[in-house]
Structure 1
């Protein structure tokens, strides 16, 4: 049996608020206030890193197609060089083309390959026998298919770049972008004026 006075001691603090120091309250609320933005910031950083990875993946897709296009053009030039006199510098320029290097370098490469492809076709127009060969026709189809693949890869890349660029320019993602030193990325863009700047002769 519990003595009556002991029962009273058990309930002596009933219906009262617990004692909390002012420092304890301040420290807890400060931690609570700081930890939420921290988790949001970490989430934003991870989100931007995932977006950046998607941009790099789609950039790699364009680069793969440009490599295919360069290799096919080299084979095409090798096929017709017995009948058409190409400038040595043209073949060397295409053969030694540095692939990769980001969107800016890829746009420059694409300009050169556009002009080379166009000039090859103009030269071949003068040689009906070459145009009629099965090998030439097969390579021409391959080039057209690769150009369509480049256009598709370019659309995917530009879509990913657009999403990334918009994200790092709005709050609070711009804060996360600044912490990982993110930069606005190039769009893969080719204009007729750009193509006209490149002069490659045969």
Structure 2
């Protein structure tokens, strides 16, 4: 009788081990899928940037340093890297594109250019897709990391050497701050 009980406990433990391992693998694959979505959107953005820069260059040729900085960031974005590195490059690229659009504000002819407006709209769409992909990825990372840290799957994840995944975060602390809005009271 004791042998049957012991056998039942071992079978249940084995079934749980298989279940937990498969759940860890599934969540690890969801993280990889989420990163793939971000990577696709970052590449789409990188593909739009040369056309955007060339369009702006026609109107604001004196902004060479900005154009070189954007080209350097684009190269870093395409070359890949860790999630943390890509997050930092993405944040820097967003800032540079903001500067590029600020320059465009000074050139009414550029703002009226159909090609520029089309590129601007496409870029805005890609930025939205990056945000959606980032949310999906970070949700998958959260679930995976929770499994790795929760008992008893933490034992299984440690045994099979599953490691925590990095979140795709905003690296700039200033961007995390809530903007302060003040309204001047008219006298």
When normalised by structure 1's length, the TM-score is: 0.76
Q: Are 1:47 and 2:23 counterparts?
A: yes
The corresponding residue for 2:43 is: 67
Tell me if the contact between 1:44 and 1:176 (Cα under 8 Å) persists in the aligned partners: yes
Q: Which of residues 167, 170, 176 is equivalent to 1:187?
A: 167
- Residue 161 of structure 1 and its aligned partner are, at CA, apart by 1.2
Question: Where do residues 111-126 of structure 1 align in structure 2 (5 Å cutoff)?
Answer: 111-126=91-106
Question: Partners in 2 of 1:94 and 1:81 — Cα distance?
Answer: 17
The answer as to whether partners of 1:124 and 1:130 remain within 8 angstroms in 2 is: yes
Q: Is the aligned partner of 1:89 residue 2:68?
A: yes
- Equivalences, count: 172
Conserved 8 A contact 2:34-2:137: yes
Q: TM-score, normalised by structure 2?
A: 0.82
1:155 aligns with 2:129: no
For the 8 Å contact 1:161–1:185, the answer to whether it is kept is: yes
> 2-side partners of 1:98 and 1:146: how far apart?
15
- Write 1 or 2 for the structure with the bigger share of helix: 2
Alpha-carbon distance in structure 2 between the residues aligned to 1:63 and 1:105:
12
**Contact 2:21–2:156 at 8 Å: present in 1 too?**
yes
Unaligned 5+ segments in structure 1 are 1-24, 197-202
Mapping of residues 6-25 of structure 1, within 5 Å: none
Gaps of 5+ in 2: 177-187
**Greater radius of gyration (CA):** 1
- Alignment counterpart, residue 56 of structure 1, candidates 16, 32, 36: 32
Aligned to 2:90: 110
Which secondary structure does the structure 1 equivalent of 2:64 belong to? coil
